[in-house]
Homo-oligomer: A and B are copies of this chain.
Amino acid sequence: MYDILLTYISQRAVTPITAEQAVLIRDAFKPKKLRKKQYLLQEGDVCKYLSFMVKGAMHQYSIDEKGNEHIVRFGIEQWWMADRESFEMQTPTRYNIDAWEETELLQISRPAYLSLRDAVPAVMEMTQELDKRGSIAAQKRIQAVISYTAEERYLDLLKTHPYFLQRFPQHMIASYLGISAETLSRIRKQALSK
């Protein structure tokens, strides 16, 4: 299972990974399994690990005063999960992250991550690449949510991340889009007839 991680890193870096470095990486990450509905992170916790998803599906969400879930992010195989802010600043998180499907992770602690980044250039490069893509994607999503109607956002999601629609229930997709489950159901019905 470490192979997936090693391949993932090298594909996103310029500098190749040496055999010694590969060992460092293996040693730094510990495997962890989560059952359905198990928490990776709960509101109030400090996010101690950065987790690479080997298998499964998770979602990151906040809960408002009325008890409604608001989904901020989905994650599936080959995505990283963590609350960035909490992990970087070591402050309590306002989010929950839990497993929607049976999930397998490779986890690294923050101290181990910091030294690994210094020891392995490819890890540093991958991190930067991820940050870059992350902020570009976040900006697009912001633009979408302030400029487009609910229907346009749904159609865009259908185009860019169709696999989300197959792996998460509709009420989660609705929450991710910032609309109610009923509205999404009606939008889909309408979209069909076109």
- A85-137, CB < 8 A from B: 85, 88, 128, 131-132, 134-136
Which of B85, B128, B143, B178 makes the CB contact (< 8 A) with A146? Answer: B178
A residues in contact (CB < 8 Å) with B: 62, 64, 70-73, 84-85, 88, 128, 131-132, 134-136, 138-139, 141-143, 145-147, 175-178
Which of B71, B84, B145 makes the CB contact (< 8 A) with A139? Answer: B84
Residues of B within 8 A of A145 (CB): 142, 145-146, 178
Chain B proximity of A80: nearest CB distance (Å): 12
Residues of B within 8 A of A85 (CB): 136, 139
Chain B proximity of A133: nearest CB distance (Å): 9
Taking a contact as CB atoms under 8 Å apart, the answer to whether A143 and B62 are in contact is yes
Known pairs A143-B62, A175-B146; A132 contacts B70 (CB<8 A): no
A139 and B131 CA atoms in complex are apart in Å by: 12
Which of B134, B146, B178 makes the CB contact (< 8 A) with A135? Answer: B134
**Residue ID in chain B nearest A68 by CB atoms:** B147
A73 and B143 CA atoms in complex are apart in Å by: 10
Which of B62, B84, B139, B176 makes the CB contact (< 8 A) with A136? Answer: B84
Taking a contact as CB atoms under 8 Å apart, the answer to whether B84 and A147 are in contact is no
Known pairs A64-B147, A85-B136, A147-B62; A72 contacts B142 (CB<8 A): yes
